[in-house]
A and B are shown apart, each in its own frame.
Chain A
Amino acid sequence: MTIIDPTDAVPAPRSGDDQKTGPLLEVRDLHVEFQTREGVVRAVNGVNYSVNSGETLAVLGESGSGKSVTAQAIMGILDMPPARIPQGEIRFYGQDMLTMSADERRKLRGARIAMIFQDALSALNPVLSVGFQLGEMFRVHQGLSRKEAKAKAIELMDRVKIPAAAARVNDYPHQFSGGMRQRIMIAMALALEPDLIIADEPTTALDVTVQAQVMDLLAELQREYRMGLILITHDLGVVADVADKIAVMYAGRIVETAPVHELYKRPAHPYTRGLLDSIPRLDQKGQDLYAIKGLPPNLLKVPSGCAFNPRCEKAQDICRTELPPLVPVTERDGAELPGRASACHFWKETIHG
């Protein structure tokens, strides 16, 4: 275990002035590729997005769309090699994290940017008590003693509403239910009051009633600490409940960005529209479900032009040859729609009918 010297100043302390200078986190033209025996897999191909303090950005996409790889690149937990970041910037309070030294990044990780993983059972160490694992944050980053760290751990478990925290602090992960384990993951991410939390499918493994509890807790804590939140998910329902803005990913690119209300009302990309139409609704009993034909592309050979063209009903010749850039979406009369962009040659037809 590496001990980080707590006396070292962490870069860019959190203060009111700093936050006005720009977004909390900005990802610019990020590329990630993996060297495999079959060839180079381009998992992320030029992703741009930004998050502000107190804001929730939902990154939506199917498996293999690159949403988790982007998050891992931000956290700096990609295995390199086989992964490689050939170009791009990840700016945290304006500072590019990709050019930082490993030591500097380690100080940010956990303290300023934290991550909540999907599967709490495999993300927690089964042979260490949860109190020890929670306390590790304080011991490593703040140099607290074991006793002090345990007291802090109990405090944290109380925060995330784990009943009888003091009695359960010495329990092991398998002694907790799925929802409680996810709460411990959240507690661990919150421990040092980070500025940004990345939640990778935080509720996918949970039952609906527990999912509602956990999402509620996350939203409440986010408001309290004014954190930025990147929520990675494939569930359009969860997104609608908590997100402020949405970025939809497909085959390693962002195909559409929009504020949450706008996206559901008027999608500007055929893929988003297809996704919205293909989910069954609780409050409507439809006839046949709309299904996007075909399968998500193999990232070893992404189709030329727009990656979605083999599955798209609107595809024309230009879609097969020319890659559509992510362009701002406007009203019919040219009025700006803030925050909206679409990577489709025919976004006008898609959004305005």
Chain B
Amino acid sequence: MADPTGAAEPTDATPNVSQVEVADVHSEAEAVAALDAKVDRGEPILQVRDLTKHFPLTQGVLFKRQVGAVKAVDGISFDLYQGETLGIVGESGCGKSTVAKLLMNLERATAGEIFYKGQDISKLSGKALKAVRRNIQMIFQDPYTSLNPRMTVGDIIGEPFDIHPEVAPKGDRRRRVKELLDVVGLNPEYINRYPHQFSGGQRQRIGIARGLALNPEVIICDEPVSALDVSVQAQVINLMEGLQNEFNLSYLFIAHDLSIVRHISDRVGVMYLGKMAEIGSDEQIYEHPTHPYTQALLSAVPVPDPEAREHRERIILTGDVPSPANPPSGCRFRTRCWKAQDKCAEELPLLAIPERFKDSDTPAAHESACHFAEEKDVVNAA
């Protein structure tokens, strides 16, 4: 078990890293017991510290040698509190889906720690990992490819019980599956149907039911509604909000649609090229963004109101996101930033509350990784 307090100084400012309480775990049995401990509402249930994932780039067929690395996730830290929804937004290629895979332990982190209830899960394996996975479930993006076409709905939703038989005794499973179907608003009679007999929105409900089967505490949602039609999107979002209240779930909600993220999230983190650019409450991020990337992102969102289009100031960024295999030095956003100066190329801005807002009590005082952070309301700007 790695001791987080003894970890090397992280590149990102993580002021509360030393506050992470690590249960002094000696045996596997104790580790499993620690997972069953209840976390109070408002306490951190998942703490991510300096998480890094580099995918090696190799050359040669027989004698592979590493020629570089795609820095998909490059040192990000955040907390997920019990019962809250943390939204993660960013463009494609910024590493948000890799974060989801790392949290699920589907990919092994290159460096960094993930604490679930104070226990580092990023290095677990075998039984201990299996026990943790029961509590962290995932809802996938594409309801068309994430369900096995040869399995019935009952088998799909019931499959988690095969892996974790302690959750539901064998004779009880069909009843549990029917209950789950009912919970997500599907007719329990549909238990013997196949995925192709359902529409996109209904399939996503099946995916949600599967995610709920093991009574998890954390659900990681990777673009759960982006493949759905507008009118169906709202149904699924409302369902997810209802389930969160009912089962006291914590969501990590990854999406590229900023409007939906605002609607569902309590706090929002903005990612750019493997780094967290800004993180704060939904009001802080949407009404008082201080990072230029967040401002550009928000101003680019088309607002469904033609009156607003004349009044809104739009910041249109030039160029594309640079390659994560060869990110710019210093601040990663500097190549597209209109404020960029020499300092930005030389010095990596840390994710911290900007100096100028430190002592003030304004909503602008939230963590932002920019040397020249200043407040600018682009959403309501007249």
A contact residues vs B (CB 8 Å cutoff): 62-63, 163, 177-180, 207-213, 215-216, 234-241, 260-261, 264-265, 274-276, 278-283, 285-286, 288-293, 295-296
B238 touches A291 (CB 8 A): yes
A280: chain B residues at CB < 8 Å are 234, 237, 259-260, 262-263
Known: A281-B303, A289-B234, A291-B234. 6 other contacts (CB 8 A): A63-B229, A216-B316, A240-B309, A275-B231, A280-B263, A282-B303
Max count, chain A CB within 10 A of own CB: residue among B237, B302, B317 = B302
A216: chain B residues at CB < 8 Å are 316
Taking CB atoms and an 8 Å cut-off, the chain B residues in 215-259 that contact chain A are 229-235, 237-238, 241, 256, 258-259
Residue from A180, A238, A260 within 8 A of B302 (CB atoms): A238
What's the Cα separation between A274 and B231 when bound, in Å? 8
Residue of B nearest to A241 (CB): B302
B306 touches A260 (CB 8 A): yes
A211: chain B residues at CB < 8 Å are 300, 302
Residue of B nearest to A163 (CB): B319
Q: Tell me whether B187 is interfacial, beta carbon within 8 Å.
A: no
Q: Tell me whether B84 is interfacial, beta carbon within 8 Å.
A: no
The answer to whether residues A62 and B231 also contact, given A241-B309, A281-B259, A291-B238 and a CB cut-off of 8 A, is: yes
The answer to whether residues A276 and B316 also contact, given A289-B263, A295-B201 and a CB cut-off of 8 A, is: no
Q: How far is the CB of A349 from chain B (nearest CB, A)?
A: 21
Residue of A nearest to B316 (CB): A212
Residue of A nearest to B296 (CB): A209
Residue from B241, B300, B309, B321 within 8 A of A208 (CB atoms): B300
Number of interface residues of B (CB under 8 A): 46
Residue of B nearest to A286 (CB): B263
A207 touches B91 (CB 8 A): yes
B298: chain A residues at CB < 8 Å are 282
Taking CB atoms and an 8 Å cut-off, the chain B residues in 273-314 that contact chain A are 282-283, 286, 296-298, 300-309, 314
A178: chain B residues at CB < 8 Å are 92
A237 touches B306 (CB 8 A): no
What's the Cα separation between A211 and B238 when bound, in Å? 27
For the complex, would chain B's binding face be called helix, strand, loop or mixed by DSSP majority? helix
B241: chain A residues at CB < 8 Å are 288
Residue of B nearest to A265 (CB): B307
A285: chain B residues at CB < 8 Å are 262-263, 282-283, 286
B314 touches A212 (CB 8 A): yes
B contact residues vs A (CB 8 Å cutoff): 91-92, 199, 201-202, 229-235, 237-238, 241, 256, 258-260, 262-263, 282-283, 286, 296-298, 300-309, 314, 316-321, 379-380
A293: chain B residues at CB < 8 Å are 235
Q: How far is the CB of B63 from chain A (nearest CB, A)?
A: 27
What's the Cα separation between A10 and B336 when bound, in Å? 45
B321: chain A residues at CB < 8 Å are 177, 207
A–B Cβ pairs within 8 angstroms, 17 of them = A177-B320, A207-B92, A207-B321, A211-B300, A213-B318, A215-B302, A236-B230, A237-B259, A237-B304, A261-B306, A279-B259, A282-B298, A289-B234, A289-B238, A292-B234, A296-B229, A296-B231
Q: How far is the CB of A163 from chain B (nearest CB, A)?
A: 8
A237 touches B263 (CB 8 A): no
B316: chain A residues at CB < 8 Å are 209, 212-213, 216
What's the Cα separation between A62 and B235 when bound, in Å? 15
What's the Cα separation between A292 and B231 when bound, in Å? 6
B256 touches A208 (CB 8 A): yes
A289: chain B residues at CB < 8 Å are 234, 237-238, 263
B234 touches A240 (CB 8 A): no
The answer to whether residues A208 and B238 also contact, given A179-B320, A261-B307, A282-B301 and a CB cut-off of 8 A, is: no
Residue of B nearest to A206 (CB): B92
What's the Cα separation between A178 and B256 when bound, in Å? 15
Q: How far is the CB of B381 from chain A (nearest CB, A)?
A: 10
B229 touches A288 (CB 8 A): no
B304 touches A264 (CB 8 A): yes
Nearest 7 interchain pairs by C-beta: A237-B302, A280-B263, A278-B234, A291-B234, A207-B91, A212-B300, A236-B304
A208 touches B305 (CB 8 A): no
Q: How far is the CB of A266 from chain B (nearest CB, A)?
A: 12
Residue from B263, B302, B308 within 8 A of A235 (CB atoms): B302
Residue of A nearest to B309 (CB): A241
A264 touches B306 (CB 8 A): yes
A283 touches B303 (CB 8 A): yes
What's the Cα separation between A260 and B318 when bound, in Å? 28
A281 touches B297 (CB 8 A): no
B302: chain A residues at CB < 8 Å are 211-212, 215, 235, 237-238, 240-241
B304 touches A276 (CB 8 A): yes
B256 touches A207 (CB 8 A): yes
Residue from B231, B282, B307, B309 within 8 A of A278 (CB atoms): B231
B318: chain A residues at CB < 8 Å are 213
Residue of B nearest to A289 (CB): B234
What's the Cα separation between A71 and B283 when bound, in Å? 41
What's the Cα separation between A265 and B307 when bound, in Å? 9
